[in-house]
Chains A and B, each alone.
Chain A
Amino acid sequence: MLTTTTTLDALQEIFVDVLDEEDIVLTATTTADDIEEWDSLAHVQLIVAIERAFGIKFTATEIEAFTSVGDMVNTIEQKQA
Chain B
Amino acid sequence: MDKILETIIQKIEERNPRHAKKLRGNMEGLEDTFYYQANEFFDKYLDFVDREGKDLDYGIDSYMKMIRDYMYEQVTFAKTGSYSCTSFEDANERVYNNPEVMDYYMHGLMLSQFLWRHHYEVFEFFNASFPNYASRINSYLEIGGGHGIFLSEAMKATNMNKEYHLVDISPSSIEIAKGFVGEEKVKYFLTDIFDFHPKQGYDFITMGEVLEHVEQPLRLLKKLHAMLSERGRAFITAPANAPAIDHIYLFRNADDIRQMLDTAGFKVLEDISIYAERVSRKKAEKYKVAEMYGAFIEKK
Q: Taking the complex as formed, is B111 at the interface, i.e. its CB lies under 8 A from any CB of chain A?
A: no
Interface range on chain B (Cβ under 8 Å from partner): 20 to 34
Q: Taking the complex as formed, is B44 at the interface, i.e. its CB lies under 8 A from any CB of chain A?
A: no
Question: Do the beta carbons of A48 and B78 come within 8 Å of each other?
Answer: yes
Shortest distance from the beta carbon of A46 to any chain B beta carbon, whole Å: 10
Interface range on chain A (Cβ under 8 Å from partner): 20 to 34
Flag B261-300 by CB within 8 Å of A: 1 or 0 each. Answer: 0000000000000000101000000010100000000000
Q: Taking the complex as formed, is A17 at the interface, i.e. its CB lies under 8 A from any CB of chain B?
A: no
Shortest distance from the beta carbon of A1 to any chain B beta carbon, whole Å: 19
Q: How far is the CA of A48 from the CA of B69 in the complex (A)?
A: 15
CB contact under 8 A between A45 and B72, given known A39-B22, A67-B18 = no
- Tell me if B's interface is mostly helix, strand, loop or mixed: helix
Q: How far is the CA of A63 from the CA of B71 in the complex (A)?
A: 7
Q: Which residues of B contact A44 (CB under 8 A)?
A: 71, 74-75, 78, 287
Question: Do the beta carbons of B18 and A41 come within 8 Å of each other?
Answer: no
Q: Taking the complex as formed, is A32 at the interface, i.e. its CB lies under 8 A from any CB of chain B?
A: yes
Q: Taking the complex as formed, is A64 at the interface, i.e. its CB lies under 8 A from any CB of chain B?
A: yes
- Tell me if A's interface is mostly helix, strand, loop or mixed: helix
Q: Taking the complex as formed, is A69 at the interface, i.e. its CB lies under 8 A from any CB of chain B?
A: no
Q: Which residues of A contact B72 (CB under 8 A)?
A: 59-60, 63-64
Q: Which residues of A contact B277 (CB under 8 A)?
A: 39-41
Q: How far is the CA of A62 from the CA of B138 in the complex (A)?
A: 51
Question: Do the beta carbons of B22 and A64 come within 8 Å of each other?
Answer: no
Interface residues of A in 25-54 (CB under 8 A from B): 31-33, 38-41, 43-45, 47-48, 51-52
Q: How far is the CA of A60 from the CA of B84 in the complex (A)?
A: 14
How many A-B residue pairs have C-beta atoms within 8 angstroms? Tell me: 57
CB contact under 8 A between A32 and B18, given known A40-B277, A44-B71, A64-B67 = yes
Q: Which residues of B contact A61 (CB under 8 A)?
A: 68
Q: How far is the CA of A52 from the CA of B22 in the complex (A)?
A: 26
Question: Do the beta carbons of B78 and A43 come within 8 Å of each other?
Answer: no
Identify which of B75, B78, B289 gathers the most chain A CB atoms within 10 Å of its CB.
Answer: B75
Q: Taking the complex as formed, is B16 at the interface, i.e. its CB lies under 8 A from any CB of chain A?
A: yes
Which residue of B has the minimal Cβ distance to A44?
A: B74
Question: Do the beta carbons of A33 and B17 come within 8 Å of each other?
Answer: yes
Question: Do the beta carbons of B17 and A32 come within 8 Å of each other?
Answer: yes
Q: How far is the CA of A67 from the CA of B287 in the complex (A)?
A: 22
Question: Do the beta carbons of A41 and B16 come within 8 Å of each other?
Answer: no
Q: Taking the complex as formed, is B185 at the interface, i.e. its CB lies under 8 A from any CB of chain A?
A: no
Question: Do the beta carbons of B289 and A43 come within 8 Å of each other?
Answer: no
Q: Which residues of B contact A41 (CB under 8 A)?
A: 277, 279, 287, 289
Which residue of B has the minimal Cβ distance to A49?
A: B78
A contact residues vs B (CB 8 Å cutoff): 31-33, 38-41, 43-45, 47-48, 51-52, 58-61, 63-64, 67
B contact residues vs A (CB 8 Å cutoff): 16-19, 21-22, 25, 64, 67-69, 71-72, 74-75, 78-79, 277, 279, 287, 289
Q: Which 10 A-B pairs have the closest CB atoms?
A: A60-B72, A64-B68, A32-B18, A44-B74, A48-B78, A40-B22, A60-B68, A47-B75, A41-B277, A63-B71
17 more A-B residue pairs beyond the given contacts A40-B19, A64-B71, A67-B17, with a C-beta to C-beta distance below 8 A:
A32-B17, A32-B21, A39-B18, A40-B18, A40-B277, A41-B279, A44-B71, A44-B287, A59-B72, A60-B71, A63-B68, A63-B71, A63-B75, A64-B68, A64-B72, A67-B16, A67-B18
